[in-house]
Amino acid sequence: MMGDMNAKIGSNNDGLEHVMGRHGMGNMIANGEIFSELCASYDLIIGGTVFHHKTCHKVSWVYPYNKKENQIDRIAISKRFRRTLLDVRNKRGANRQ
């Protein structure tokens, strides 16, 4: 499952180790809680938090007014296929340096 979930899940995975890694950005918000609960219910791993990358390769949206960076696009994969997931990272868009 992948998409623009608008789900900030952050890097604190206490109690959610079975769903996510420690390499998220920021703090969890309500949509992040909903998404992580959904992943827990269906035995999914949130791919963007498993792999260590520079911040520029984690950011999927930048708030235009204060340039605050967010990681809100998500890829989730079944725990059964976790070993087949080799990497998850964002590519910079046309307006990013």
Per-residue pLDDT reduced to its tens digit, 71-84: 777 889 999 998 89
Report d(CA 14, CA 78) in Å as an integer.
20
State the pLDDT at residue 38: 93
> 48-59 pLDDT, tens per residue?
888 888 888 788
Strands 44-46 and 2-4, sheet pairing: unpaired
Q: Which residues contact residue 63 at a Cβ distance below 8 angstroms, ignoring those fewer than 6 apart?
A: 69, 70
State the pLDDT at residue 95: 58
| Predicted confidence (pLDDT) at residue 97 exceeds the cutoff of 60 | no
For the chain, give the mean pLDDT.
Answer: 85
State the pLDDT at residue 93: 65
Domain ranges of the chain: 2-80
pTM above 0.75, yes or no: yes
Report d(CA 87, CA 12) in Å as an integer.
20
pLDDT band at residue 44 using 50, 70 and 90 as cut-offs:
very high
